[in-house]
Amino acid sequence: MMADTTDLFVAARRCLDCGDPAAKAALTREAAAAFAVGALSVPADAPPPTPIGAPGRPARPRLVAPRDLPQRGLASAEGRAALVHAVAHIEFNAINLAWDAVYRFRGMPADYYRDWVGVAADEARHFGMLAARLGELGHAYGDFDTHNGLWEMAEKTAHSVLARMALVPRVLEARGLDVTPGMIVRLRAAGDEATAAILEVILREEVAHVAAGTRWFRWCCGRDGLEPRAAFERLLAEYMRQGLKGPFNLEARRAAGFSEDELRGLA
């Protein structure tokens, strides 16, 4: 039986399952364009999502423990390529995370799906920019080892849209808001203006992605009768026992919807 080409959940699953990075990005662009013109709809009678598993990914890069990743400086072209590869891997994972947020959580408002389809399209574009830059540096996605921390958190939060919105956009992706400005400064100091310019685009657009997480986390709190800061702190204590490490980019986090109360709590 052919898949329903008008069903957003079917399209999301197709993007998730695709293992070729370039094809995943192309499928994402196609699905986002179709959704934007109303060619994909959210069926009211969709069956439940399948249990979460590993999304489609290529055989390389090899996934290792974070402690096993070598520390490379940015003085060498190899070190700069390794940094670009690490960010490309984050963006590849972020495509899957956005599509899983669409696919896994049913019965959400139409704007929820609009937000996360848009995020998936942005992440696919970011991945394409970084993959092209890797090519300019003489490498390709898969050339360096990496880790699987982002997707591991997706698996841990697959049962709860509240937990997913709190911990993936507002913790793991928000970490990018904190560390990317320093990466941009270091790249410019090393003379790599091309990579710095790409990261500036990504930083600017990731603020909106974290803001989407904030928006839907608070919506879930309202639905469930929870006080947002207390709920966020409870989830941090449950899932992030080691706590959050600063420094924090307070300006970017404010723009992404963190309240002053929350920012004081982080500090």
DSSP structure class, residue 146: B
65-115 residue pLDDT tens? 777 677 777 888 889 999 999 999 999 999 999 999 999 999 999 999 999
Measure Cα distances from 57 to 16, 77, 248, 256 in Å: 9, 26, 31, 29
158-212 residue pLDDT tens? 999 999 999 999 999 999 999 999 999 999 999 999 999 999 999 999 999 999 9
The Cα–Cα gap between 15 and 175 comes to 25
Terminal Cα-to-Cα distance of the chain (whole angstroms)? 54
The Cα–Cα gap between 134 and 88 comes to 9
Average pLDDT over residues 44-60: 91
* CATH 3.40.50.2000 is right for the domain spanning 76-266: no
Do the Cβ atoms of 81 and 138 come closer than 8 Å? yes
Of residues 107, 100, 83, 119, the one with CA closest to residue 196: 83
Do the Cβ atoms of 90 and 147 come closer than 8 Å? no
248: pLDDT strictly greater than 50 = yes
Place of tokens 């598993």: 53
pTM for the full predicted model = 0.94
